[in-house]
């Protein structure tokens, strides 16, 4: 019981790596700079050797990979917003990715210990340990995780852990031609994002940051986003909450209930006698 | 651009876009098709520049631009004309620039007549021969030569008697008659003013199907962001070139940029974005029929009897083309080595001769007619990627032999058993005589070599891995093919074998596959002096046979015996111009004509736009880039009358390739369809030309024949049978004809199926259902595509009429991980007369819901379509 409480409340700031611990690394995805080229999707798949998700014309604007999945770890959403007269309009593009939550539901619920918090503060599934139970899939408030077709383990962005280990940046950030995907130390990215928002808001009223608040339902993301509209427009949950957030309280309640039940049973037995 | 400025290359480089105060992207979907270079547009936008996208479609470029202006496909010349009129009528031109640096003050001949006077034609029109003669387009008392395009005489290829210019009439470096007050009614400035007077915002809006205010807004943005302190840039790509008026559209932008003083200056210029890797290189070291390396014209069978004659007629007296003798002799020395001597005209006789138009589409017609019997198909997939690809398949099915070199068995190699014409029964495998040799090609990672990219930049790539199996580099293929042919020829000892037998064909071979040394080839292109030492620039070339140089504009790429194109000094360790990253032609200049970045006295126009200037103390030009000017020529240098070549160019004339050193607002020589752009409708258009009774470009090149029928346009009978505008384009996710992307899972899944983009209004009109199928047809072909109904496509009001369009990406074919019909089947082969480029960006079509007919029903369906428009197989 106490283990669960530790995991959920500690989050990314809690280091167990000692001297090996590094700065917490993450992404700042600035959608105002995205040109929808999908180089991030391709670079990600190429580096991580992921197969295609199938060849299906969706008719969903220029999006044919539909969503993040076990085989698609970067996904570019396309949102067409034209005025009724279509004199003006917007075509929003946003490259979505695992949020590497400060409080990560997937990590909390993983029964095998396959999902770990790395020395970079990122959340990674070790596919040689994962048994494919899928608990993490339902524990993710963003729908990031899916099953990999090849080996039926679970897959999601690793923030290119293997590249980080040798001092390289993640493949998607490297491939992004317009610096829409920026990689760096999360604290610095948060500052950068704040400054950038100030500038963007001069022209775009609805611009807002997403997952930059350490006090939100996931304790802030390791992946931050600058959006031009409300999160739900891009298919992102407006107020994500890690499902394990109330777990200590629930355990406590369950404990009390169990104790009460036990007491009742004892009482019953005693009173029978 | 060649005719306006002197060189047929982008005037600037992509990184320089960050310095722009306003960028107009027109005829290009830059974000989608040039995403990497587009980062500099984004950088400029973040620095506060306006980014204006003028395009029929709302694309990913429009999405990030600060303004999108929708115009009808093919109406670009009208829109640009509106901008030019605004500049002239409101007196917004950069006066000091145009008076000194352009031919605005030059007085034209008295007998020149403008298209405004002759209802869409200029003087010199020969209706019986469907072409122009150029005499009346000349300067008063001075014939001009033209540094690019159709030099004198070449118009006779097709139609009219040749015109021989006698250009050496400069007086102290200036044309004989000029009015620097720009008031003379015969001066170019006033001719322009009259030419464009009718291109008012209202008229332009009516033609383009846009709002008059858009014309004013774009013009004002350009004017406000040009001048001493500010500069604006234009970016275009194939959506300008692929029209029957392609060259004249680009001319429109050249006129604007000259009027506003934006050429040769940082943040200015015209950036021609090339279609894919090394397209710039394939015209510099050409795969074209009518030029030799470095834009030296190909000799003509009847016009050029000997070397002297060739230099006389093709070289200029003044400007850098006055050195034609040095370029051609050095080229001949590079090719024929010791065989080339003064006595035998340096083997000039051994060069091939052209006798007419031998361009790619003409060759296709030759295949159909049985006059062209063999075909090397390399770096292209015409069975999917060329206009009227069905006609290409039929042409290839009528060959004796065909060699296809590619990574995979592309449609151009497999057409003989899986073409749509096989399915429809129009072709039968057993009746196709073509012997097809499919040969696997090495990828760029498997071979050494260079790319010349969009900004004239030569970048070397090293072989990373050996090619697998039988795959070989292109260089290997041609070199060993040449060796084998030479071995066969050596046994024959016939005079006709001399052109091949005398070639220098002795590159060092490397490795198990005997791959020729690519650096040795680059060094030959760079050239060497009499001692065999690598030349450092083209000023070192000689006409006496002591120097050899494979391409004079590339001279310097192997300077100091170092492969300059392989330099990779990081941008952080040098200036923003990054002169030590690779090597740009000419002479490593990144912005060309950069003498114009200083005022006539040689001082920067402003501190903010400082680039190259005259250093009085040291007596030389200096700055951030290699000066595109004689380094020590003073800004006040006044040539003597009668001076030759570059000595005839005045110190205040920046366009050193031109006869007169001036930027040409008006092109007296070099264009077959007029000295100024005129608005014509596309070859196939659903509307009538609102400005002239001449409907389409009268000089356009047509190939009327079965399977290349033209859809009728208004004023033809049945001109309303194909009511919708058709245009084709590319997507970021695929590579041209798909040979390199439909075979890759990671790309194929991103755009898996052929689709058409239509507006909700058209969908309603024709009953098209989003996600369902539609059948699209022209008089050439019928294809089917998934329907994408999108608000991004908007019907236009053109001349009071609602006009719908059908947009088609063209990447699919019968092979690969994802397959589909080819949009290019629908197109006609009708060409721009100057450069023989096909019109793909504005045609007509019809669309109906549901899947297309199959098998033998296809010819039946098309016969019905042709009957409806009363086509009997001819235009």
Band of the pLDDT at B158, cuts 50, 70, 90? very low
CA distances from B669 to B146, B152, B423, B678, B834 (A): 5, 7, 49, 16, 12
Contact B195, B679 (CB under 8 A): no
Question: In chain B, what residues touch A37 (CB-CB under 8 Å)?
Answer: 31-32, 35, 60, 732
- pLDDT per residue over A179-221, tens digit each? 999 999 999 999 999 999 999 999 999 999 999 999 999 999 9
- pLDDT per residue over B801-824, tens digit each? 999 999 999 999 999 999 999 999
Q: Is B699 exposed, middle or buried (0-12, 13-18, 19+ CB in 10 A)?
A: buried
Residue of B nearest to A46 (CA): B746
**Is residue A149 within 8 angstroms of chain B, CB to CB?**
no
| Sequence-distant (≥ 6) Cβ neighbours of residue B251 within 8 angstroms | B3, B4, B667, B671, B676, B677
Q: Which of B40, B47, B749 is the best mutation test for A, with the most CBs of A within 10 A?
A: B749
| Sequence-distant (≥ 6) Cβ neighbours of residue A166 within 8 angstroms | none
Q: How far is A40 from chain B (nearest CA, A)?
A: 11
**Is residue A42 within 8 angstroms of chain B, CB to CB?**
yes
Of A62, A64, A89, the CB nearest to B791: A89
**What is the mean predicted confidence (pLDDT) over B681-691?**
96
Least confident interval from A132-146, B137-151, B260-274: B137-151
Q: How far is A159 from chain B (nearest CA, A)?
A: 19
- pLDDT per residue over B188-212, tens digit each? 999 999 999 999 999 999 999 999 9
Q: How far is B788 from chain A (nearest CA, A)?
A: 6
Is the model's pLDDT at B157 over the cut of 60?
A: no
Question: In chain A, what residues touch B792 (CB-CB under 8 Å)?
Answer: 80, 82, 89, 91
| Sequence-distant (≥ 6) Cβ neighbours of residue B674 within 8 angstroms | B115, B122, B132, B248
Closest CA to B677 of B83, B20, B216: B83
pLDDT of amino acid B875: 42
Percentage of the residues of chain A whose pLDDT score is greater than 90: 78
Q: How far apart are CA B416 and CA B377, in angstroms?
A: 15
Structure-token pair, residue B801: 């009429």
**What is the mean predicted confidence (pLDDT) over B449-456?**
94
Contact: A90, B63; criterion CB under 8 Å: yes
Closest CA to B245 of B758, B834, B695, B713: B834
pLDDT of amino acid B153: 41
Is the model's pLDDT at A12 over the cut of 80?
A: no
Of A33, A65, A89, the CB nearest to B42: A33
Question: In chain A, what residues touch B36 (CB-CB under 8 Å)?
Answer: 177
Contact: A65, B38; criterion CB under 8 Å: no
Closest CA to B1 of B246, B314, B174, B267: B246
E strand or H helix at B862: helix B857-868
Contact: B32, A46; criterion CB under 8 Å: no
Q: Which of A62, A65, A72, A202 is the best mutation test for B, with the most CBs of B within 10 A?
A: A62
| Sequence-distant (≥ 6) Cβ neighbours of residue B856 within 8 angstroms | B424, B425
3-state secondary structure A142-181: CCCCEECCCCCCEECCCCCHHHHHCCCCCHHHHHCCCCCE
Of B46, B732, B745, the CB nearest to A52: B745
Question: For residue B764, how far is the Cα from the chain centroid?
Answer: 38
Percentage of the residues of chain B whose pLDDT score is greater than 90: 90
Of B746, B752, B787, the CB nearest to A64: B752
Contact: A37, B60; criterion CB under 8 Å: yes
**What is the mean predicted confidence (pLDDT) over A136-155?**
95
Q: How far apart are CA A197 and CA A30, in angstroms?
A: 9
Q: What is the DSSP string of B335-361?
A: HHGGG--TTTGGGGGGS--B-S---HH
E strand or H helix at B737: none
**What is the mean predicted confidence (pLDDT) over B713-728?**
89
3-state secondary structure B82-97: HHHHHHHHCCCCCHHH
pLDDT of amino acid B467: 95
Q: How far apart are CA B666 and CA B398, in angstroms?
A: 45
Contact: A64, B749; criterion CB under 8 Å: yes
Q: Please give the DSSP secondary-structure letter assigned to residue B467.
A: P
Contact: B790, A90; criterion CB under 8 Å: no
Residue of A nearest to B752 (CA): A55
- pLDDT per residue over B735-776, tens digit each? 999 999 999 999 999 999 999 999 999 999 999 999 999 999
Contact: A57, B753; criterion CB under 8 Å: yes
Number of neighbouring beta carbons within 10 Å of residue B705: 15
Least confident interval from A108-112, B10-14, B79-83, B276-280: B276-280
More confident residue, B253 or B160: B253
Q: How far is B503 from chain A (nearest CA, A)?
A: 44
Mean pLDDT over the full length of chain B = 94
Contact: B35, A65; criterion CB under 8 Å: no
**Is residue A89 within 8 angstroms of chain B, CB to CB?**
yes
Contact: A64, B63; criterion CB under 8 Å: no
**What is the mean predicted confidence (pLDDT) over A13-36?**
89
Closest CA to B673 of B64, B179, B37, B120: B120
Residue of A nearest to B45 (CA): A33
CA distances from B875 to B696, B702, B713, B717, B837 (A): 13, 9, 10, 11, 19
Contact: B732, A38; criterion CB under 8 Å: yes
* Cis peptide, bond prior to residue B586, ω within 30 of zero: yes
Question: In chain B, what residues touch A59 (CB-CB under 8 Å)?
Answer: 770-771, 786-788
Whether this prediction's pTM lies above 0.90 is answered by yes
Question: In chain A, what residues touch B740 (CB-CB under 8 Å)?
Answer: none
Question: In chain A, what residues touch B752 (CB-CB under 8 Å)?
Answer: 55-57, 64
Q: How far apart are CA B379 and CA B704, in angstroms?
A: 28
Is the model's pLDDT at B785 over the cut of 80?
A: yes
Residue of B nearest to A60 (CA): B788
Q: How far apart are CA B738 and CA B276, in angstroms?
A: 13
| Sequence-distant (≥ 6) Cβ neighbours of residue B790 within 8 angstroms | A61, A80, B757, B758, B759, B760
Is the model's pLDDT at B304 over the cut of 80?
A: no
Contact: B750, A33; criterion CB under 8 Å: no
Q: What is the DSSP string of B195-221?
A: HTTT--HHHHHHHHTS-HHHHHHHHHH
B contact set with A (CB within 8 A): 31-32, 35-36, 38-39, 42, 46, 58, 60-64, 731-733, 745-753, 755, 770-771, 786-788, 790-792, 794, 817-818
Number of neighbouring beta carbons within 10 Å of residue B61: 25
Least confident interval from B269-278, B474-483, B819-828: B269-278
- pLDDT per residue over B333-378, tens digit each? 999 999 999 999 999 999 999 998 899 999 999 999 999 999 999 9
Question: In chain B, what residues touch A33 (CB-CB under 8 Å)?
Answer: 42, 46, 64
Residue pairs spanning A and B at CB distance below 8 A: 97
Band of the pLDDT at B874, cuts 50, 70, 90? very low
**Is residue A195 within 8 angstroms of chain B, CB to CB?**
no
Q: How far apart are CA A269 and CA B658, in angstroms?
A: 110
Is the model's pLDDT at B703 over the cut of 50?
A: yes
Q: How far apart are CA A91 and CA B399, in angstroms?
A: 48
Band of the pLDDT at B168, cuts 50, 70, 90? low
Q: How far is A8 from chain B (nearest CA, A)?
A: 37
First CA to last CA distance, chain B: 32
Residue of A nearest to B793 (CA): A86
Closest CA to B181 of B283, B105, B275: B105
Question: In chain B, what residues touch A179 (CB-CB under 8 Å)?
Answer: 39, 42
**What is the mean predicted confidence (pLDDT) over B770-790?**
98
Contact: B36, A177; criterion CB under 8 Å: yes
Q: Can you list the positions of beta strands (E) in B237-305? A: 270-272, 291-292, 296-297
Q: How far apart are CA B465 and CA A66, in angstroms?
A: 36
CA distances from B700 to B128, B538, B833 (A): 15, 37, 5
Contact: A59, B788; criterion CB under 8 Å: yes
Residue of A nearest to B68 (CA): A88
Contact B475, B447 (CB under 8 A): yes
E strand or H helix at B246: helix B246-259
Which residue has 């045609």 as its token pair? B843
CA distances from B319 to B265, B288, B702, B730 (A): 21, 25, 36, 40
Q: How far apart are CA A152 and CA B163, in angstroms?
A: 75
């Amino acid at each position: 019981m106490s283990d669960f409480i530790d995991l959920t409340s500690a989050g990314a700031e809690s280091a167990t790596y000692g001297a090996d611990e590094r700065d917490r690394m993450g992404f700042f995805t600035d959608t105002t700079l995205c040109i929808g080229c999908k180089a991030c999707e391709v670079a990600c798949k190429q580096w991580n050797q992921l197969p295609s998700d199938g060849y299906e014309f969706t008719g969903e604007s220029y999006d044919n990979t539909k969503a993040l999945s076990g085989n698609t770890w970067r996904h570019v959403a396309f949102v067409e917003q034209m005025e009724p007269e279509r004199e003006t309009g917007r075509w929003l593009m946003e490259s979505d990715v695992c949020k590497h939550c400060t409080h990560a539901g997937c990590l909390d619920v993983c029964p095998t210990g396959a999902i770990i918090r790395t020395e970079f503060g990122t959340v990674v599934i070790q596919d040689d340990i994962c048994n494919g139970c899928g608990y993490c899939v339902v524990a993710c408030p963003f729908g990031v995780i899916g099953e990999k077709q090849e080996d039926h383990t679970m897959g999601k962005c690793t923030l290119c852990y293997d590249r980080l280990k040798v001092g390289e940046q993640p493949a998607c950030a490297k491939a992004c031609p317009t610096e829409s995907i920026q990689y760096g130390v999360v604290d610095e990215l948060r500052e950068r994002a704040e400054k950038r928002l100030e500038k963007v808001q001069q022209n775009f009223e609805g611009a807002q940051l997403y997952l930059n608040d350490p006090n939100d339902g996931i304790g802030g993301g390791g992946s931050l986003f600058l959006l031009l509209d409300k999160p739900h427009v891009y298919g992102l949950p407006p107020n994500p909450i890690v499902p394990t957030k109330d777990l200590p309280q629930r355990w406590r309640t369950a404990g009390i209930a169990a104790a009460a039940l036990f007491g009742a049973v004892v009482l019953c037995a005693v009173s029978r006698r | 651009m060649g005719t306006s400025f002197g060189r047929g290359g982008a005037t600037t480089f992509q990184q320089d876009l960050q310095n722009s105060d306003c960028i107009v992207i027109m005829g290009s979907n830059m974000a989608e098709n040039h995403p990497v270079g587009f980062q500099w547009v984004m950088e400029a936008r973040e620095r506060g520049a306006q980014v204006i996208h003028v395009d029929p479609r709302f694309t990913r470029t429009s999405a990030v631009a600060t303004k999108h202006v929708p115009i009808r496909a093919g109406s670009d010349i009208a829109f640009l004309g509106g901008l030019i009129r605004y500049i002239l009528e409101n007196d917004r031109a950069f006066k000091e620039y145009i008076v000194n640096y352009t031919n605005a003050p030059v007085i034209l001949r008295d007998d020149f007549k403008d298209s405004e006077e002759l209802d869409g034609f200029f003087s010199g029109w020969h209706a019986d021969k469907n072409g122009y003669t150029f005499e009346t387009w000349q300067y008063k008392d001075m014939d001009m030569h033209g540094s690019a395009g159709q030099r004198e005489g070449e118009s006779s290829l097709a139609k009219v008697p040749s015109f021989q210019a006698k250009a050496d009439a400069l007086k102290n470096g200036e044309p004989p008659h000029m009015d620097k007050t720009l008031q003379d009614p015969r001066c170019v400035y006033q001719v322009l003013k009259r030419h464009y007077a009718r291109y008012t915002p209202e008229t332009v809006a009516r033609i383009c199907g846009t709002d008059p205010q858009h014309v004013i807004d774009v013009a004002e943005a350009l004017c406000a962001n040009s001048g001493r302190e500010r500069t604006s840039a234009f970016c275009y790509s194939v959506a300008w070139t692929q029209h029957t008026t392609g060259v004249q559209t680009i001319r429109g932008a050249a006129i604007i940029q000259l009027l506003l003083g934006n050429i040769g200056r940082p943040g200015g210029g015209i950036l021609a974005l090339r279609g894919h890797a090394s397209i710039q290189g394939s015209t510099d070291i050409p795969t074209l029929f009518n030029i030799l390396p470095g834009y030296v014209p190909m000799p003509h069978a009847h016009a050029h009897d000997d070397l002297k004659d060739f230099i006389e007629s093709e070289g200029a007296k003044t400007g850098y083309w006055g050195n034609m003798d040095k370029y051609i002799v050095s080229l001949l020395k590079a090719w024929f080595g010791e065989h080339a001597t003064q006595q035998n005209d340096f083997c000039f006789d051994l060069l091939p001769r052209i006798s007419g138009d031998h361009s790619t589409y003409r060759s296709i017609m030759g295949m159909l007619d049985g006059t062209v019997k063999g075909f090397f198909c390399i770096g292209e997939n015409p069975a999917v990627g060329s206009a009227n690809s069905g006609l290409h398949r039929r042409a290839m099915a009528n060959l004796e032999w065909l060699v296809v070199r590619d990574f995979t068995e592309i449609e151009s190699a497999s057409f003989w058993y899986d073409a749509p014409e096989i399915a429809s029964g129009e072709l039968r495998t057993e009746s196709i005589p073509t012997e097809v040799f499919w040969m696997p090609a090495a990828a760029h990672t498997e071979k050494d070599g260079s790319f010349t990219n969009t900004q004239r930049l030569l970048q070397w790539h090293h072989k990373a891995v050996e090619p697998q199996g039988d795959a070989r580099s292109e260089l290997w293929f041609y070199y060993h093919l040449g060796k084998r042919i030479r071995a066969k020829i050596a046994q024959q000892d016939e005079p006709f074998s001399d052109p091949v037998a005398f070639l220098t064909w002795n590159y060092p071979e490397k490795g198990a596959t005997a791959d020729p040394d690519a650096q040795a080839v680059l060094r030959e292109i760079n050239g060497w002096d009499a001692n065999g030492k690598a030349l450092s620039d083209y000023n070192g070339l000689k006409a006496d046979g002591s120097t050899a140089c494979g391409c004079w504009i590339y001279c310097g790429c192997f300077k100091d015996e170092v492969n300059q194109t392989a330099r990779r000094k990081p941008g952080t360790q040098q200036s923003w111009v990054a002169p030590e990253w690779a090597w740009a032609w000419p002479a490593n200049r990144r912005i060309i004509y950069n003498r114009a970045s200083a005022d006539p006295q040689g001082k920067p126009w402003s501190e903010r736009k400082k680039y190259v200037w005259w250093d009085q103390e040291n007596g030389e030009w200096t700055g951030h880039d290699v000066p595109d000017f004689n380094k020590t020529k003073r800004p006040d240098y006044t040539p003597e009358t009668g001076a030759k070549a570059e000595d005839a160019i005045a110190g205040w004339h920046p366009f050193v390739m031109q006869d007169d050193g001036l930027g040409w607002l008006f092109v007296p020589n070099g264009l077959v369809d007029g000295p100024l752009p005129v608005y014509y409708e596309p070859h196939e258009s659903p509307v009538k030309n609102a400005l002239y009774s001449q409907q389409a470009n009268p000089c356009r090149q047509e190939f009327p024949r079965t399977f290349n029928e033209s859809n009728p346009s208004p004023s033809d009978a049945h001109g309303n049978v194909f009511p919708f505008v058709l245009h084709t384009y590319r997507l970021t996710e695929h590579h041209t004809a798909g040979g390199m992307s439909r075979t890759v899972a990671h790309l194929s899944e991103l755009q898996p199926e052929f689709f058409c983009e239509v507006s909700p209004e058209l969908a309603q009109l024709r009953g098209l259902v989003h996600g369902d199928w539609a059948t699209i047809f022209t008089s050439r072909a019928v294809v089917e595509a998934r329907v994408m109904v999108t608000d991004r496509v908007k019907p236009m009001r053109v001349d009071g009429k609602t006009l719908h369009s059908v947009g088609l990406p063209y990447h699919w074919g019968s092979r690969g991980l994802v397959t589909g019909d080819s949009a290019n089947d629908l197109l006609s082969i009708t060409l721009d007369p100057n450069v023989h480029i096909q019109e793909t960006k504005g045609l007509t079509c019809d669309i109906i819901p549901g899947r297309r007919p199959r098998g033998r029903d296809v010819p039946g369906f098309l016969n019905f379509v042709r009957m409806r428009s009363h086509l009997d197989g001819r235009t």
